[in-house]
């Protein structure tokens, strides 16, 4: 038996319950992993609340790190005793031990701790596909400006550092002066407190009226319209989350009026759909973390049994950097 977090219906943090579950042996293409640390992400809130509906009961969590205890038939890239980390579907990482598909589980380099591994996989792989694969039609070159919302969050702080390493001028937004300072300390070229500044006007000032080539937006409803106004002609609006709520319907004709813009809605799990793509992206992430170009900031730690408090803090935007659950 092992402890796990389960919800029996969509709702608030009070729906998160610690339960005892039986864990068996892995089947073909699966592994059993004993967690040392578990990552917390805003997608967990979406799944808990019902914004992303799932059949009940649901075991939450998309990210973790630990040691492989057993390997199913056909799994060749992992062995018993390997240190490992993952961002993966289906949900279920909020637990001590789980059986899961092996496809997205990667060997964790010895130079990266379990806590760092648990904190960085979903957020770091997200930053990787945004900055390396979700690109405007004209591409990105050193010196180009990009706009990144929620720059002091887990994905944002990784993106600030990685963008600087790529030579990009990242303009970050955040909801307080303290969060803006954090983004600047991690490589953002500029930071805008959108709670008291018009970020679209400020972006135009920073870029000499030209706008940015790409906006990376995980906020959604509250930032969408002004984000489109930040783009230069042929710019890309890259949506990858809905922290403030889903983006309402909009007229495609408006994209032409604003400069023949492009719009895309990205999700990590399309990018890590194969073992090969998962490993290639993870290798890129491991390289920048081991080099020191990107540091993973774990700013909040909660015990597994305090998962309700962790969700309340995340949903209230009281967190910065990465948050993990410990065992």
CA torsion, ordered 200, 201, 206, 211, to nearest 10 deg: 50
Mean pLDDT of 70-90: 97
Q: Is the pLDDT of residue 243 over 90?
A: no
What CA–CA distance (Å, rounded) separates 94 from 105? 16
Of 317, 294, 302, nearest to 40 by C-alpha is 302
Integer angstrom CA distances of residue 83 from 97, 162, 233, 264, 272: 14, 25, 46, 35, 20
Contact call for residues 13 and 312 (beta carbons, < 8 A): yes
Q: Is the pLDDT of residue 317 over 90?
A: no
Please give the domain boundaries of the chain with CATH numbers for all domains. 2-122+269-326 (3.90.180.10), 135-265 (3.40.50.720)
pLDDT bucket at 54, cuts 50 / 70 / 90: very high
What CA–CA distance (Å, rounded) separates 228 from 233? 10
What CA–CA distance (Å, rounded) separates 152 from 164? 15
User: Within the chain, where are the H helices?
Assistant: 42-49, 114-133, 154-165, 177-185, 199-206, 224-229, 253-257, 268-271, 275-291, 307-315
3-class SS of residue 300: strand
Mean pLDDT of 260-280: 97
pLDDT by residue (tens digit) across 107-163? 999 999 999 999 999 999 999 999 999 999 999 999 999 999 999 999 999 999 999
User: What pLDDT score does 71 carry?
Assistant: 98
Per the confidence metrics, is the pTM higher than 0.75?
yes
User: What pLDDT score does 129 carry?
Assistant: 98
Q: Is the pLDDT of residue 192 over 90?
A: yes
DSSP 317: T
pLDDT bucket at 295, cuts 50 / 70 / 90: very high
């Amino acid at each position: 038996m092992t402890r796990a977090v389960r919800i029996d219906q969509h709702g608030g943090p009070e729906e998160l319950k610690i339960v005892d579950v039986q864990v068996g042996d892995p089947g073909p293409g699966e592994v059993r992993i004993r967690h040392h640390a578990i990552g917390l992400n805003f997608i967990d809130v979406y799944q808990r609340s019902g914004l992303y509906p799932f059949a009940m009961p649901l075991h939450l969590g998309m990210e973790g790190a630990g040691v492989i205890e057993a390997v199913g038939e056909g799994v060749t890239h992992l062995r018993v005793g390997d240190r490992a980390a993952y961002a993966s579907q289906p949900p279920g990482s909020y637990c001590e031990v789980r059986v899961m598909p092996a496809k997205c589980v990667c060997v964790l380099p010895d130079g990266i701790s379990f806590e760092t591994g648990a904190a960085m996989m979903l957020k770091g792989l997200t930053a990787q596909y945004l900055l390396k694969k979700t690109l405007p039609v004209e591409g990105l070159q050193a010196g180009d400006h990009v706009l990144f919302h929620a720059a002091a969050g887990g994905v944002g702080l990784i993106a600030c550092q990685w963008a600087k390493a790529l030579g990009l001028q990242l303009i970050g937004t955040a909801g307080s002066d303290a969060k803006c300072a954090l983004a600047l300390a991690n490589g953002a070229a500029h930071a805008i407190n959108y709670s008291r500044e018009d970020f679209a006007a400020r972006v135009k000032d920073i870029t000499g009226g030209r706008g940015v080539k790409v906006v990376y937006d995980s906020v959604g409803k509250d930032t969408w319209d002004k984000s489109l106004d930040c783009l230069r002609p042929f710019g890309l609006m890259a949506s990858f989350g809905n922290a403030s709520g889903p983006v309402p319907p909009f007229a495609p004709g408006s994209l032409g009026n604003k400069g023949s813009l492009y719009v895309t809605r990205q999700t990590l799990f399309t990018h890590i759909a194969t073992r090969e793509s998962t490993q290639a992206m993870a290798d890129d992430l491991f390289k920048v973390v081991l080099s020191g170009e990107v540091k993973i900031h774990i700013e909040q730690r909660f015990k597994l049994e305090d998962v309700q408090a962790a969700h309340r803090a995340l949903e209230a935007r009281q967190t910065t950097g990465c948050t993990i659950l410990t065992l």
